[in-house]
Amino acid sequence: MINFTKMQGLGNDFVVIDAINQQIQLTTAQIRFLADRHFGVGCDQLLLVERPISDNAEFKYRIFNADGSEVAQCGNGARCFARFVRDKGLSKKDEIIVDTDARQLTLRFAAGDLVTVEMGVPALEPKQIPLNVSEQSKLYKVKLAETEVEFAAVSMGNPHAVIRVDDVANAPVLSIGARLECHELFPERANIGFMQIVNRRQIKLRVYERGAAETLACGSGACAAVVAGIEQGLLDQDVQVQLPGGELIISWIGSGHPVLMTGAATTVFEGQIKL
């Protein structure tokens, strides 16, 4: 039997497991089972709380998509991670530093149930894309079936493509998202965001996530979209991002600086399950 906590950040949901006080070694099949909404608990991502690998961090934060793939970044999960370690009494600090596979994240408790995550410095030319990006537009073009798709590429520690659309409600999120996620340009696959710009301080966004399909919200996707919009001269430095599951505030002062993400993190229920 293992103890787990079901959490959500804007409807992007997680099974969170304390792997410090429990002996946990999950196989890919067990992760898929836990993530399964019919036969298991159900989640977009599974999060493991582990001991840190560096001296200045309190924990290591490991992230697995619903398909069992391990990844290096999850923004909504990071806020839930902060809430989890505080609620479980694993940390009493107001600012928590965690190691991930890609980078260190700093998590800060804000007013109410809000948590701010310092998501790290975005990279505008992820190594995953072996193409020359046009310096002026910073946009890539690919042909998917009969459709030409133009996107910005942003790494937040995980790969994102951001496509601008006029009407996000009717954007081809499932069809284009699934195709571009697995396109040969992305040997490690990618998360595909569809961004509608409302004004310089507000966007609407839907994200087809690598390894989880469309989710109600993607924190790293929101950061990537705002970075892409600012780089294209379309957005100011503080942007409200409206996702199907709720709102995030993303702030970025520009190149070489970390992106800040603020939003809610909520516990849904606690449980035990036999693997």
Ligand X SMILES: N[C@@H](CCC[C@H](N)C(=O)O)C(=O)O
Q: CB count, 10 Å around CB of 234?
A: 16
Nearest distance in Å: CB 68, ligand X? 11
Check binding of 243 to ligand X (CB under 6 A): no
Nearest distance in Å: CB 64, ligand X? 9
> Which tokens hold the place of 160?
């994102």
Q: Which of 40, 122, 193, 219 touches ligand X (CB under 6 A)?
A: 219
Check binding of 12 to ligand X (CB under 6 A): yes
Residue 195 near residue 165 (C-beta atoms within 8 A):
yes
Instruction: Tell me which stretch binds ligand X (CB under 6 A): 84-92, 110-118, 138-146, 218-226.
Output: 218-226
Closest CA to 249 of 6, 7, 8, 10: 10
- Which string of x and - marks every residue 138-177 that binds ligand X (by CB under 6 A)? --------------------x-------------------
Question: Which residues lie closer than 8 Å to 48 by C-beta, 6 or more apart?
Answer: 17, 19, 24, 26, 61, 62, 63, 64
> Which tokens hold the place of 92?
């009493």
Check binding of 75 to ligand X (CB under 6 A): yes
Helices first, then strands: H and E counts in the chain: 4, 18
- Residue at token pair 């159900």: 42
Residue 57 near residue 197 (C-beta atoms within 8 A):
no
> Closer CB to ligand X, residue 220 or residue 242?
220
> Closer CB to ligand X, residue 36 or residue 137?
36
Binding residues: 12, 45, 65, 75-76, 158, 191, 209-210, 219-220
Show binding-site residues for substrate: 12, 45, 65, 75-76, 158, 191, 209-210, 219-220
Q: What residues line the site for ligand X (CB under 6 A)?
A: 12, 44-45, 65, 71, 73-77, 158, 191, 209-212, 215, 218-220
